[in-house]
Amino acid sequence: MTALAGTGQLVRLALRRDRFVLPPWLLVLGLLPAGVANAYEQLYPTEAMREPLTATVGANPALAVLLGPAFDLSTPGGFTAWRLLGFHAVVVALMVIFTVTRHTRAEEETARYELLASGVIGRYAPLTAAVLVSVGAVTLGGAFAVSLLLAAGLPVAGSVAYGAALAAAGWTFTGVAAIAAQLVPFARTSNGIATGVLGAAFLLRGLGDASGEVGWLSWLSPVGWAQQLRPFAGERWWVLALSAVVAVGTLGVGYVLLGRRDAGAGILAERIGRTHAAPSLRSPLALAWRLHRGSLIGWSIGVAISGAAFGAIALGIGDLIGDNPTMREIFMRMGGSEVVIDAFLAQIAGMFGMIVAFYGVQAALRARGEEVVTRLEPVLATSVTRLRFVTSHLVFALVGSAVVLLAAGLGAGVAHGLRAGDVAGNAGAMLGAALVQLPAIWLVVGVAVVLYGFAPRRTSAAWGIAAGFVLLALFGPVLNLDPALVDVSPFSHVPRLPSADVAVAPLVWLTALAAVLFAAGLAAFRRRDIG
């Protein structure tokens, strides 16, 4: 038997399992660029409005941090690449990270790998199958984006470069995920390592693009490489070689590490636990705290730093938007105010609300993770009831989301206050702007709880639903989508603080609907079979 025996069968199995998971990712990659390119004609109908964009945006470090370098905004393609390519590079990176982990480390953690390994499966077949599925998915997504950009009438070279940039970013982070999967024995930790690398890459790209003095930092980031390919702005095809070399190198390291560890183990040795549990662990809530604390602390620190970065640049946002009535109108529709800086802060608060929703889903589905790896049965064999078990995890989905939001609001408020000369006032305003996002987040978490109760094997759909809500709220106003469609997203109903007055009614009905979803999901969980 060869080391790659059974790879084809595992690829088919992975594609069958992911038939509902991968298509939404690919739709995001393909549909948004064409939509933004078409919207550009409406935003900037005349050459006089287009010509000054590149110089104005290029001189604004705030937008350089958020979106990357502006090479040529005088064309629909150049504007689309500036507006979306950095975001899409992050999307494809997350897609391949989760895909590789799901079909490698997660399989070993749940002991399904042992069942597969009992057949004719080579040592390297699972990793190879995961890599093939990931690389194939991002390549298909890139080709889909190219086809729709061409259909929108954009130049061939720029369209191909855009799709190639997406695919190359996916190839690189496939290798990163392959290494992370070998280092630790748990899928959550593996995902955490790989997404940490992604976060560092995004930060390096932002710092490099915002300051000419450290512009070289962008060249240390795979996210930066995607943008430095310069679709629709004098394509630099040689940049693809950087991604190819790093992708091959990281995959090679991943295979070497795989050959040096045992199945189910990681290269980094686990710490030996205590013989007897500490008194502080003798309750479901205490155990849940032990399981969630690393994620909660990591998320809180990450969003606090990000919030501070955005808050620090808020004063400079008016330099771009204030002089363009069309952009001002679009931005106000997204932020809900006549004051540009307050609208920007409102948009930042809304963005963090959308981000923290994914933390809420992650925390809620931790209960499903414990069930899948068969750690739930020993807990229920004691006096712990099903309801106590699941609510101990949902506490962190509900209260933990509030903690993470407070960290984001505090970081943004303090940083903006230091520059504006009013720390207390701005910190309080941003804390309020952050907390009003909670009802929408709880509703998203409620959807995850319903899936956990009624269709536990379909809980991964909660991620797709959350992403759909985010995309509708984020891009619906810009693309002039039907308001009824945009209103499907709970984030579309959140008051846009600090630039608007508090509207209590949507907060009340969002919370009530979330409570109904929680009650339905918990009732279903109490009655269904475990597993």
Token pair, residue 442, equals 């709880």
User: What is the pLDDT averaged over residues 112-139?
Assistant: 85
User: What is the pLDDT averaged over residues 239-253?
Assistant: 94
Percentage with pLDDT > 70 across the chain = 88
User: Cα 401 vs. chain centroid, distance in angstroms?
Assistant: 16
Whether 498 contacts 345, CB under 8 Å: yes
Token pair, residue 429, equals 């305003």
Tell me, what's the pLDDT at 481?
Answer: 74
More confident residue, 360 or 192: 360
Per-residue pLDDT at 58 exceeds 70: no
Q: Which amino acid is at 26?
A: L
Q: Is the dihedral of CA 465, 471, 474, 475 positive or negative?
A: negative
Q: What's the CA gap between 383 and 356, in Å, rounded?
A: 33
Q: Which amino acid is at 268?
A: L
Q: What's the CA gap between 281 and 275, in Å, rounded?
A: 13
Tell me, what's the pLDDT at 513?
Answer: 94
User: What is the pLDDT averaged over residues 471-499?
Assistant: 80
Per-residue pLDDT at 331 exceeds 60: no
Q: Which amino acid is at 348?
A: I
Per-residue pLDDT at 336 exceeds 60: no
How far from each other are the two terminal CA atoms of the chain, in whole angstroms?
33
Percentage with pLDDT > 90 across the chain = 28
Per-residue pLDDT at 299 exceeds 80: yes
Cis peptide before 45 (omega within 30 of 0): no
| Among candidate residues 104, 144, 105, 108, the one with its CA nearest the CA of residue 125 | 104
Per-residue pLDDT at 247 exceeds 90: yes
Tell me, what's the pLDDT at 163?
Answer: 93
Lowest mean pLDDT among 77-86, 258-267, 288-297: 258-267
Model confidence at 525, in pLDDT bands (50, 70, 90)? Answer: confident
Task: Mention every residue, 6+ apart, whose C-beta is less than 8 A from residue 105.
Answer: 181, 184, 185, 186, 187, 190
Lowest mean pLDDT among 126-130, 139-143, 209-213, 430-434: 209-213
145-195: pLDDT as tens digits: 999 999 888 999 999 999 999 999 999 999 999 999 999 888 888 888 898
Model confidence at 133, in pLDDT bands (50, 70, 90)? Answer: very high
What is each CA distance from 174 to 4, 30, 167, 182, 243, in whole angstroms?
18, 20, 10, 13, 11
Classify the phi-psi angles of 11: left when phi > 0, otherwise alpha if psi is within -120 to 50, otherwise beta: alpha
More confident residue, 47 or 181: 181
Tell me, what's the pLDDT at 337?
Answer: 42
Model confidence at 403, in pLDDT bands (50, 70, 90)? Answer: very high
Q: What's the CA gap between 182 and 194, in Å, rounded?
A: 11
Tell me, what's the pLDDT at 160?
Answer: 94
Tell me, what's the pLDDT at 320?
Answer: 52
Per-residue pLDDT at 70 exceeds 90: no
What is each CA distance from 123 to 101, 255, 322, 460, in whole angstroms?
16, 10, 59, 27
What backbone phi and psi angles, to 5 degrees, belong to 111? 70, 5
Tell me, what's the pLDDT at 186?
Answer: 83
Model confidence at 360, in pLDDT bands (50, 70, 90)? Answer: very high
Whether 259 contacts 123, CB under 8 Å: yes
| Among candidate residues 92, 309, 355, the one with its CA nearest the CA of residue 203 | 309
Model confidence at 457, in pLDDT bands (50, 70, 90)? Answer: confident
Task: Mention every residue, 6+ apart, whose C-beta is less than 8 A from residue 137.
Answer: 22, 25, 26, 95, 96, 99, 170
Lowest mean pLDDT among 129-138, 394-403, 461-470: 461-470
- Mean pLDDT score of the chain: 83
User: What is the pLDDT averaged over residues 480-508?
Assistant: 82
User: What is the pLDDT averaged over residues 94-100?
Assistant: 92
Tell me, what's the pLDDT at 338?
Answer: 44
Q: Is 509 exposed, middle or buried (0-12, 13-18, 19+ CB in 10 A)?
A: middle
User: What is the pLDDT averaged over residues 361-381?
Assistant: 80
